[in-house]
Structure 1
Amino acid sequence: MDAPPVCPRHPDRIAYVRCQRCGRPTCPDCQRPAAVGVQCVDCVRDAARSTRDVRTRFGGLVHPGARPVVTLAFIALCVVAYLGQWTVDGFTTDWKYSPLRGHAEPWRFLTSAFLHSPGSIFHIVLNMVALWTVGPYLEVQLGRVRYATLYLLSAIGGSVVVLLVAALGWSDWYSGVVGASGAVFGLFGAAFVVMWRSGHPAQGMLGVIGVNMVFSFVVPGISWQGHLGGLVTGALLAAAYAFAPAARRRLVAVVAPALVAAGLAALVGWSYGQAPAEVQQIWDLPDAVEDSLLREWGL
């Protein structure tokens, strides 16, 4: 009389059910549902290893089950910074951006994008909801590196336009700005370009951009300059990614951000060259005196 079949992974267990792929007996703990019947855990693992990730037309990898780690990282940084604003004295003042402060402390062009208004939790909530709504889609379509580069350059682009508008005399050099809105608007612009290039209906995203830009101009206290700068930067960079030939995709992923960054740097240089005499006098003060004076003014 033949011995009853046993599970290869658990020899002490009798198993009459066989894997549909390899035909070996498999116990209930080692069975995995398949399209037809069940498969053993070993065959499921081997199939997962042999499955090739699919690339999008923009260079991203579609990997089932992958988490949007870059988007989650940006959200985590904003939340940590928000807690710092509440618990550390002077945290917001040390990292927020204004055209006046950005001259000597250029990192503020970026760090301000991870801060939010401490007086309103809705500011960070709305930005994080928008980031979570659009971010994962772009992270898959563009790939993590392209997506992160676009987000960061959009944030900087928003600050650059705040400076440019001050240089043109349409706003002052002293008002500070905070918020991820510039970067989020960059994602809005990029999502529109990617959806349009993919042949998907993009009217909805265009409506979102339009409504939010109207609010930027009509609601007091919102930096329309930052929104506009982020939107233009994100759309331009996404267009470079979207229209890059497949054979040149890696090259464009390096050259396009470099050109955008160079353009932003040129705007910064020109804008600071237009600073009024009273602003230049502040910059001419010794660093310690300048810093003390600006802190006294809440800048």
Structure 2
Amino acid sequence: MDQAGSPQEPQQAHGHDGLPVCRSHPDRPTGVRCTRCDRPICPECMISASVGFQCPDCVRTGGGSGPAPQAGAPRTIAGGTLATDPRLITKILLGLNIAVFIAVTATHGVLADRLDLIGLAVDPSRYELVGVAHGEWYRLLTAVFVHQEIAHIGFNLLSLWWLGPPMEAALGRLRFTVLYLLAGLGGSALSYLLAAQNQPSLGASGAIFGLMGATAVLMRRLRYDMKPVFILLALNLAFTFLWPNIAWQAHVGGLAVGAAVAFGMVHAPRDRRTLVHVGTCVLVLLAIVATVWVRTLQLTG
């Protein structure tokens, strides 16, 4: 803590772009400061207060002088409860993807054929119709956790480990989980709508692109330098459209849904936060359901 009567540290470190850096994470420039001690704090350290944000130290100690601490549990920028482990849901998602990958490998791809996303086709091993249009709605979600190649799952899980924890810390566990699943479903829905009906697709890429879109929205909300995010998105989108055998529909669908859900979560007025969050997620889910319904009518009508 600083000396009494001195709300700021004697010398403040700054990042390469001139912004001060977070006290707990020196590699993260930030334009947000704790409303009690005035020290810079990054999204992972932000705790929502009645006015502005506070750092974890001030929340734990009450901050000495200054306004009284906020009643109730500390909150993230999106209103979620501050968790002791901001990586828990990310770890669970990583574990689920790895577990499904092991199961798919052990069954020599048979399980993948049961869980991947496909519109409507004939399964040659069973001589029967399969696919979402045939009533196998679960494929829209299960396909998000299915991988068959080491490189595919390795890239997706590396991206999840990089993008997931900061977003989970900023949104809270429940909101982060909802955003991830909706982004995955959004990617599946667009693939179902635009891809060939007998073209199978699988992987967490739609959900990962959703996290990219959400990261861009969050960084814009915090007034961070957007150039690194735009470069990352541009490279990934170029890879999406230039590399063969990639379901670009899932990437674009996940990106759009992730950005939309995150926008509603981080820009919601404090006094109507829950209403806006629920409304945003319900509207996005209804759009996904409508997309799936239209495509199903096309394939079965």
* TM-score using structure 2 length: 0.70
Q: CA separation in 1, counterparts of 2:230 and 2:189?
A: 23
Instruction: Specify the code of the residue in structure 2 equivalent to 1:274.
Output: Q
Q: CA separation in 1, counterparts of 2:101 and 2:77?
A: 36
Q: CA separation in 2, counterparts of 1:91 and 1:205?
A: 36
Instruction: Say whether residues 1:231 and 2:255 are aligned partners.
Output: yes
Out of 73, 93, 117, which is 1:97 matched to? 117
Instruction: Specify the code of the residue in structure 2 equivalent to 1:91.
Output: L
Partner of 1:18: none
Q: How does 1:87-126 map to 2 (within 5 A)?
A: 87-89=106-108, 90-100=110-120, 101-103=131-133, 104-116=135-147, 118=148, 120-126=149-155
Bigger radius of gyration = 1
Instruction: Specify the code of the residue in structure 2 equivalent to 1:226.
Output: A
Look up the SS of the partner of 2:137 in the other structure. coil
Kindly state the Cα deviation for residue 67 of structure 1 after the two structures are TM-superposed: 4.2
Q: CA separation in 1, counterparts of 2:294 and 2:80?
A: 36
Q: How does 1:66-215 map to 2 (within 5 A)?
A: 66-89=85-108, 90-100=110-120, 101-103=131-133, 104-116=135-147, 118=148, 120-166=149-195, 172-215=196-239
Q: Determine if contact 1:61/1:141 at 8 Å carries over to the other structure.
A: no
Kindly state the Cα deviation for residue 88 of structure 1 after the two structures are TM-superposed: 2.2
Kindly state the Cα deviation for residue 202 of structure 1 after the two structures are TM-superposed: 2.2
Q: Determine if contact 1:182/1:231 at 8 Å carries over to the other structure.
A: yes
Instruction: Say whether residues 1:58 and 2:78 are aligned partners.
Output: yes
Q: Determine if contact 2:214/2:259 at 8 Å carries over to the other structure.
A: yes
Look up the SS of the partner of 1:99 in the other structure. coil
Q: Determine if contact 2:80/2:174 at 8 Å carries over to the other structure.
A: no
With over 3 angstroms needed to count, the CA separation of the structure-2 counterparts of 1:124 and 1:218, relative to structure 1, is same
With over 3 angstroms needed to count, the CA separation of the structure-2 counterparts of 1:113 and 1:273, relative to structure 1, is same
Task: Provide the alpha-carbon RMSD of the alignment.
Answer: 2.0
Moved more, 155-164 or 47-56: 47-56
Q: CA separation in 2, counterparts of 1:49 and 1:242?
A: 24
More helix by share: 1
* Percent of paired sites with the same residue: 34
How many residue pairs match? The answer is 223
Kindly state the Cα deviation for residue 54 of structure 1 after the two structures are TM-superposed: 4.0
Instruction: Specify the code of the residue in structure 2 equivalent to 1:93.
Output: D
Q: CA separation in 1, counterparts of 2:233 and 2:81?
A: 27
Look up the SS of the partner of 1:111 in the other structure. helix
How far does the alpha carbon of each residue in 1:226-260 deviate from its partner, in whole angstroms, 9 at most, with x for none? 00000000001111112100111122222211111
With over 3 angstroms needed to count, the CA separation of the structure-2 counterparts of 1:181 and 1:252, relative to structure 1, is same
With over 3 angstroms needed to count, the CA separation of the structure-2 counterparts of 1:173 and 1:61, relative to structure 1, is same
Partner of 1:35: none
Q: Determine if contact 1:153/1:233 at 8 Å carries over to the other structure.
A: yes
Q: CA separation in 1, counterparts of 2:166 and 2:82?
A: 11
Q: CA separation in 2, counterparts of 1:163 and 1:178?
A: 11
* TM-score using structure 1 length: 0.70
Look up the SS of the partner of 1:274 in the other structure. helix
Structure 2 unaligned spans of 5+: 1-57, 63-68, 121-130
Look up the SS of the partner of 1:200 in the other structure. coil
Q: CA separation in 2, counterparts of 1:55 and 1:162?
A: 36
Structure 1 unaligned spans of 5+: 1-46, 167-171, 282-299
Partner of 2:282: 258
Q: CA separation in 2, counterparts of 1:246 and 1:48?
A: 19
Out of 235, 243, 264, which is 1:240 matched to? 264
Moved more, 265-274 or 183-192: 265-274
Look up the SS of the partner of 2:298 in the other structure. coil
Q: CA separation in 1, counterparts of 2:159 and 2:253?
A: 17
Kindly state the Cα deviation for residue 163 of structure 1 after the two structures are TM-superposed: 1.6
